[in-house]
Amino acid sequence: MNYAVIKKFDIANGPGVRVSLFVSGCRHKCKNCFNSEAWDFDYGKPFTKDTIAEIVEALDKDYIEGFSLLGGEPFEPENQAGIYEILKEIKEKLPNKTVWCYTGFNFDTQLLKGFVGDKGLTLECLKLIDVLVDGKFVEELKSPSLLFRGSSNQRIIDVQKSLAQNEVVWLQGVWERKMGSGNIYE
Beta pairing, strands 131-134 & 155-158: antiparallel
- Whose CA is closest to 102, among 12, 9, 1? 12
- Whose CA is closest to 24, among 14, 38, 13? 38
Place 135 in a pLDDT band, splitting at 50, 70 and 90: very high
DSSP-derived letter for residue 170 is B
**pLDDT in the model for residue 156:** 95
**pLDDT in the model for residue 116:** 95
- In this predicted model, what pLDDT tens digit does every residue of 45-97 receive, in sequence order? 999 999 999 999 999 999 999 999 999 999 999 999 999 999 999 999 999 99
**pLDDT in the model for residue 73:** 96
pLDDT at 34 over 90: no
Burial of 32 (0-12, 13-18, 19+ CB in 10 A): exposed
- In this predicted model, what pLDDT tens digit does every residue of 137-177 receive, in sequence order? 999 999 888 889 999 999 999 999 999 999 999 998 654 44
Domain boundaries, the chain: 2-179
Burial of 12 (0-12, 13-18, 19+ CB in 10 A): exposed
Burial of 28 (0-12, 13-18, 19+ CB in 10 A): middle
CATH topology (fold) of 2-179 = TIM Barrel (3.20.20)
pLDDT at 179 over 90: no
Average pLDDT over residues 32-45: 89
pLDDT at 180 over 60: no
Average pLDDT over residues 112-120: 95
pLDDT at 184 over 90: no
- Please answer whether residues 183 and 170 qualify as being in contact, where contact means their C-beta atoms are separated by less than 8 angstroms: no
pLDDT at 183 over 50: no
- Give the list of residues 6+ apart from residue 77 with CB closer than 8 angstroms, or none: 116, 117, 118
Peptide bond into 72 cis (omega under 30): yes
pTM of the predicted structure, to 2 decimals: 0.91
pLDDT at 35 over 90: no
Phi/psi for 156 (5° steps) reads: -110, 105
